[in-house]
Structure 1
């Protein structure tokens, strides 16, 4: 079955977000979020939303909605702001910490937006943000330019469709790179850790041997996995290779 993404249009209702010359963040984020969702759905991804109208929902409620829905990824769309107008411009993405598939997805989104003309301000760790701290799945918050920057607003308005496509493409690039947008896929798990240093040590060891390994940090443990694979036979062959190399393994779907 396809993967599910919860798209979160930042702010809403009584919370306008950042405001500049009458322009409200909540309006930009809702319009962009709906456009991104349509593109993802057209590419076979199941999409859910924290809001589709101008209503207020607290950050905690947004995180709980994603957790209760059991989605696989959470993407929150925002516009940035700075105390001084027209002083800072560019895009940045925020994640709980700089690791795992969420970090890769944030980088892929930023790269796509940079290609449109935005300055890429990078990916930053923000463990204090509720929608990143309380979600149980990989989560990324994208700041799509500064709303108090005329430069970024022109980019946003003149390239709206391209921006929606860029964010969707960044998401899809990440999913394709780890093989998770196939209808059925399998991975071979080689270890599960609470200590990130141990997980990264095993990851690097596998990568040095050219195994397609990565860390899945979507649950309570850091799971070092190899794959995915289109069918069980391919996964079983990889499991045999890893076992012959001395690794403990289990196939996960």
Structure 2
């Protein structure tokens, strides 16, 4: 089964968002510690950026995931708005709106919506360090607004259901390959606008016996490796590429 790094947002000297004495760092840690065992019981290998109230920078968290060689990174946060009790709902952030990370974000949001949260959708945030510097598909989940009484009531009264819902969204995404034969996975290593650079990178991979090819759709020349019917096969290739020193992202087609 795939491995997942769970990140409880903020921690230590960084409380995150604060509302009426409630601190984001406490909610995120509590939720991550409930989510992890659910995923482990389903057979996933789970690691954590923190399990206590300690501070690590976003960069340190990204490097921790990279060094651990995990397959996926899921960061748990609580949102905030400048004015209290104006906005509520769940939102997930991704580096860009493509690939398996986008699918995972959609599934997590949908499961949380079933509990009663308003679904605010998926937002691309390529500037966030934990999304930009992680080498694996990464999703940051904003589990309601900490300065929304409505969301806090949902968070507290349906806490166990929330942990279960996030686990369901993750598992639904990663188990799709065993039931849906139409989904094909590939590992993307780079994207170029200049065909000379793209072909040079392609040849470098081919010389190392990677089954690389160029997808020239949508105005970019994306260098990808393999076409796989299962996520497990794509993940195995991703690990080979990582060991060879290449940046990777699994994409579904």
Deviation at 1:224, TM superposition (A): 5.7
Distance 1:223 1:103, change over 3 A: farther
Shift of 1:3: 1.2
Maintained 8 Å contact 2:49/2:61: yes
Aligned mates of 1:13, 1:191 — CA distance in 2: 36
Query: Does residue 132 in structure 1 map to residue 148 in structure 2?
Result: no
Gaps of 5+ in 1: 181-186, 203-219, 232-253
RMSD of the TM alignment (CA)?
Answer: 2.6
Q: In the alignment, which residue of structure 2 is the partner of 1:165?
A: 164
Matched, 1:51 2:50: yes
Please state whether the residue corresponding to 1:194 is helix, strand or coil: strand
Deviations, residues 5-24 of structure 1 (Å, cap 9, x unaligned): 00000000000000000000
Deviations 1:169-204 (A, max 9, x none): 000000011349xxxxxx9877967348963849xx
Establish whether residue 147 from structure 1 lines up as the match of residue 163 from structure 2: no
Is the 8 Å Cα contact of residues 73 and 138 (structure 1) preserved in structure 2? Answer: yes
Q: TM-score, normalised by structure 2?
A: 0.76
Q: Name the CA shift for 1:196/1:54 in 2 (closer, same or farther; >3 Å).
A: same
- Cα distance change of structure 1 residues 111 and 50 upon mapping to structure 2, 3 Å threshold: same
Misfit runs of 4+, over 6 Å: 187-191
**Equivalent residues in 2 for 1:65-214, closer than 5 Å:** 65-179=64-178, 194-195=190-191, 199=215, 201=217
Aligned length: 207
C-alpha contact 1:92 1:110 (8 A) present in aligned 2: yes
* Contact 1:196-1:222 within 8 A present in 2 as well: no
**How far, CA to CA, are the matches of 1:149 and 1:189 in structure 2?**
39
Aligned match for 1:228, one of 230, 248, 251:
230
1:228 is displaced (CA, Å) by 1.4
List gaps (5 residues or longer) in structure 2. 194-213, 234-253
- Give TM-score scaled by structure 1 length: 0.76
Per-residue Cα deviation, 1:64-85 (whole angstroms, up to 9, x for no partner): 0000000000000000000000
Task: Name 1:18's counterpart in structure 2.
Answer: 17
Cα deviation code 1:102-157 (max 9, x no counterpart): 00000000000000000000000000000000000000000000000000000000
